[in-house]
Chains A and B, each alone.
Chain A
Amino acid sequence: MSGPRRQPHWSRRIGHLLLMLAATAFLTIFLALPLAVVFVEAFRRGLHAYLSAIGQHEALMAIRLTLLVAAISVPLNVVFGVAAAWAIARFEFRGKALLGAFIDLPFSVSPVISGLVYVLLFGAQGWFGHWLELHDVKIIFAVPGLVLATIFITLPFVARELIPLMQSQGSDEEEAARVLGAGGWQMFFRVTLPNIRWALLYGVLLCNARAMGEFGAVSVVSGHIRGLTTTMPLEVEMLYNEYDYVGAFAVATLLALLALATLAIKALLEWRYGDEIAAHAPGGH
């Protein structure tokens, strides 16, 4: 270790600079700018126009429906995700690999296909269409269809988050609880759940963001009945197609805020409980 410290060559420094500029420009054009455009367009005619656009009956119904769909599908996916993660992390059984593959399926199939499958199953011309019509059950072009499609799309989030964590934690603590006299549910609520709580919250967060933001699958099963079967992303599209830019971007700001809030909480969780969370990019389309 001797000799004077060498300055990096000037061409190298310029190389660094160019690379940073390119990255910044890329992020600005593809991420920051579109986000800014959403807000700029939404407020183009002022705060009053913005508020009245959001206050529209259809917009309010779309918000309500989005919350409803998320409120049903997220808890169901929590139950399924925890159960599936437990089964995969704790037990050896036939078809375990297959179950893992099925959980990943929604990540690898285009959401449009996912929606279409439900139409083929439950639509008027579908396999169960006739039977459903006889019993006056509406699934496609109704709320149940939206919920089903959303559940399918968000299926992997909770399970995929929990499986690696539960596998790495092992079952020692659960077994210790059993031997100390805890019953099955006591073990679950006093040991299993506290150990996975942050990863579970993380999974729920991603699951919720996807449930509220999903477009493709719900678009196929929705039927686009204004005020009845349009969720917020669908409402945005319809308003936009009707040249109601303020309306479209006003609703879009809500989705953008949801995304920002999700991002913030996600970053917080990763920073605070990084070792308990298998950070991964939300898959899908």
Chain B
Amino acid sequence: MTLELSHLSRRFTDYPALDDVSLVIAPGEFLALLGPSGSGKTTLLRILAGLDYPDAGTVQLDGNDFLAAQAHKRKVGLVFQHYALFRHLTVAENVAFGLRVRSRKARPSRTEIAERVQQLLKRVQLDDHGHRYPSQLSGGQRQRVALARALAVEPDLLLHEDLELTTVFVTHDQEEALELADRIAVMNRGRIEQVGSPEAIYQQPATPFVCEFIGKVNKIPLTYANHRLSAGDWVLEGDPWNGRHANVVAYVRPEHLSLVGAHTESGWAARLRHVYLAGSVAHLELYIPSIDQTLEADVAGEDVAALGLQNGAELRVAPRGAIVFALGEQAGDAPAGRWVWQA
């Protein structure tokens, strides 16, 4: 079953919650929506669940108009962010709800329902909690009940506002999304900024927003002089825009910043402000006097140990790679250009 969203827009009184969003979700695909709160994830999810409607645009499931069906006819499983368990029903009754409200023709028998509920509770490892009420469960247990309840109706589409397997799935938790998703759609201000594999999103971010939102990144403003871009002693040799854009920024991931010897030409003199060892990786906080900025660098823990680095040590660092954006006139504009720079 292919789900096709085209040109969805939804305006609330004072801001656009969704702004011309198009997406194709392949059968069996697990798509994660990622974005800050207010970026439109929940609105998109509610539209798919039938709890809200777009002002413009269409959603088709295998070529059929998906929006024409009312919420209770859509066969969508939805796990709410706060689970929305029925507080007056037991865990087992919660899971059975979707089956019990079916019309007599489509409703399984009592024993069938009980069996199915037991199976599902077993799958989420809550088979001995069926008689409890939601208020007696931990947060994690509640979430598993919500998942079992959503799966009980054998949905065509599982929407998950938090984590776990399956098709469309909205989350704040980046680690989770990067691990599980086939593809990620990064949303911001009601728009999809980039859709792609987790690796592509991380390594080749399409916009400054994606850079800043996914993972850690150092943001370094560049200046143009003598036909090349630079920031302090770091020189990029060239400028794809030949100085047309005044506002150019380089994004450097902490792991793309390496310690270099004194002989290298391009790079910064830096002072180690703080070192924090986490397993095999050392997080360094470096102050660069020539650009008056503090940068973060991730280097191998062994190197730090070998060099015997301590707070206040003087050293030299240089970026190995960076994504350079020529920014638009105003904040929030799409970038005017993008340049993947390699040392």
Contact = CB atoms under 8 A, between A and B. Distances in A.
Interface of A: 172-173, 175-183, 186, 190-191, 194-195
A180 B82 contact: no
A176 B72 contact: no
A179 B86 contact: no
8 contacts: A175-B80, A177-B97, A179-B50, A179-B71, A181-B72, A182-B97, A186-B101, A191-B86
B80 A190 contact: no
B80 A176 contact: yes
A178 B50 contact: yes
A180 B98 contact: yes
Contacts of B78: 176, 179
B86 A173 contact: yes
Nearest to A176: B84
Contacts of B85: 173, 176
Given A176-B80, A178-B50, A179-B72, 12 more contacts: A173-B86, A175-B80, A176-B78, A178-B51, A178-B72, A180-B72, A180-B101, A180-B149, A182-B72, A183-B72, A183-B101, A186-B101
B50 to A, nearest CB: 7
Interface residues of B, number: 24
B86 A181 contact: no
A180 B76 CA distance: 7
| Residue in A172, A179, A186 whose Cβ sees the most chain B Cβ within 10 Å | A179
B49 interface: yes
Interface of B: 49-51, 71-74, 76-78, 80, 82, 84-88, 97-98, 101-102, 149-150, 153
A178 B78 CA distance: 10
Contacts of A190: 86, 97, 101
B169 to A, nearest CB: 15
A46 B98 CA distance: 63
A230 B269 CA distance: 98
A182 B86 contact: no
A195 B150 CA distance: 21
A83 to B, nearest CB: 21
Contacts of A182: 72, 97, 101
B101 A172 contact: no
A179 B102 contact: no
A181 B101 contact: yes
| Residue in B71, B74, B77, B149 whose Cβ sees the most chain A Cβ within 10 Å | B71
B162 to A, nearest CB: 14
A198 to B, nearest CB: 10
B153 A173 contact: no
